[in-house]
Structure 1
């Protein structure tokens, strides 16, 4: 997709609100199973019938009573806990200053249209978008009290993630949760296009189940998600050409042997063609290293038609660059504070700039658009 097609997702005014919903839950043996993705495959208009078939076979159960869910999941030694409910979408904001939900990446309108149509045909929010905020001490105490009780559901899925769920229905607990999250400002960690699709559906069908969309709110202070960099491979751009551009920009570069897995520090960019490794120590500049790469370095490289590919795995970035006679850029991971600063300022990071991990597997909590 052309970067010129990227636009800022709409802003959502406060207060931040998560509402109870009647969850649909996949059988644990089907969560984390790659084959489960076929349930949501084309044609999307058939997904509703497939869901009904799976319910008839007992592979999907529906919670008969709406709730907000405290969902704790563990993956690769890391545990994350968040509140899952339906995010109220009715109040639009005009900018980041008044928004309670803060995007940090742009969206492609065509992809938003496709996702909105897909969810409309499926009559389903198949997974929550992932939001991150700084919760209050009172909220952490409340969720700690809830999680001290036996979970409503507990299991290990087919992909090895362990899950614990607490259904919160007591009116006083629901009210207390709402009071504590209302003033929060939440950063979108995963799901920018789905968030925009939620808002598109709400604008087209106000007063329906589309007035809210499934979301999980994680407290960065309590159980933070880990931020990873997404690295770049520049096909056909020789390492010397990239280094010449850095020299023109006045950036000092040094060669040294570096292990591919080595994580650069916050102000260092690693460049390699798979044989030689160069470290570029970037000058002080506003923003993140990935912004410097896209706003300053790439325009300075003579070749104007760089093919840039994105790789969460640095070794894959190096392998791709070597195969395509290009250069890999190994980036440092931005911090949560840096990403939040970008979002609050109303800036957008380049496409595929962050990876928040771990994410919960698909199917733990789903929400029907026919059941509220």
Structure 2
């Protein structure tokens, strides 16, 4: 973990998602790049801007609080999750009390800045993304709801398709509340916004900041895709990488590009300087650690030279383009499994920065939570 990051506090159970009155942009504004710019500086004008949009019919506000079942489809993948106001008012003091599990550290200054932005805007502009495995009653209930007619159905400007059902029935809400009380959720996206929620709650306890907007996805029903984030070690050579592996009792062998890529797995990395390729065997270090942990906590510190910096890439092509003989080594990473990330979080370990990429994420503007509505 980056020495400048810290562990965000843990929210105590039971996990609670509360109904709220959703603000929703009209479909033509959702997924539009201008929507993101609308939440940029000056933040104090954002609330007034949303009021103007509502008068112009560009923004709707629900008449009554609800939990929302949100299904979005992008790139052929459909994800369904519950959207609600996450209770962040209680802090866990014991391991067994934790309800929300981070798996990455946060930069305090960034979390402070996000908290200041939300306080100025008086809203949560988008839900953080949480993942869990739902219990049988909730899973069955949401499947039944999804078979009904949605309250909203549209395709946004980025070609994401959305279906939304408002859940207000007291019996359904009670089933969800009871079922969620016994679950733990992993933060898939939004570690800094989660930390900002906790900062706001600490500043203003007992009010709307006791909650923060969240979407809870059942990984057992409509799983998010967990992709790899590849690395480029700038200022490092393949020779440096071989020296580091030998000093740690690991093995680094020359290989063709095809063989190196084919060998990629939880205990093997593929590395290239753009001209030559090698397979790095991390065994037995990966018996207890994820490959990304071994790279950052063991291999990188053992390098005789560099890295002067580390680049991060969501595609193999981008990683390969950054490699350079003698001066930059690109390392192709395996994607960790959801269960592995969950075990790491439950064991009180944090993965290095940019270790996971949960995809796809919903477009900005589908759900907004105003502090005026609690």
When normalised by structure 1's length, the TM-score is: 0.96
Map Cα deviations across residues 279-300 of structure 1 (whole Å, 9 max, x no partner): 1121122110000001100010
Equivalence map 1:1-372=2 (5 Å) = 3-258=2-257, 264-285=264-285, 286-304=288-306, 306-322=308-324, 325-372=327-374
SS in 2 for 1:158: coil
Shift of 1:245: 1.2
Q: What stretches of structure 1 of length at least 5 have no aligned partner?
A: none
SS in 2 for 1:91: coil
In structure 1, C-alpha distance between the alignment counterparts of 2:324 and 2:235, rounded to whole Å? 10
Change (3 A) 1:282 1:261: closer
Map Cα deviations across residues 151-184 of structure 1 (whole Å, 9 max, x no partner): 0000111101111000001111111111111110
Equivalent residue pairs, number: 371
SS in 2 for 1:53: helix
Runs of 4+ residues over 3 Å off in structure 1 = 259-263
In structure 1, C-alpha distance between the alignment counterparts of 2:19 and 2:261, rounded to whole Å? 43
Shift of 1:359: 0.6
Q: What stretches of structure 2 of length at least 5 have no aligned partner?
A: none
SS in 1 for 2:99: strand
Output the aligned Cα RMSD. Answer: 1.6
Change (3 A) 1:45 1:261: farther
Note if contact 1:96-1:343 (Cα within 8 Å) is conserved in structure 2: no
In structure 1, C-alpha distance between the alignment counterparts of 2:23 and 2:136, rounded to whole Å? 31
When normalised by structure 2's length, the TM-score is: 0.96
Shift of 1:324: 9.2
Shift of 1:187: 0.4
Map Cα deviations across residues 61-116 of structure 1 (whole Å, 9 max, x no partner): 11111100000111111111000000011110025432010111001110110000
In structure 2, C-alpha distance between the alignment counterparts of 1:305 and 1:138, rounded to whole Å? 50
SS in 2 for 1:3: coil
Note if contact 2:233-2:328 (Cα within 8 Å) is conserved in structure 1: yes
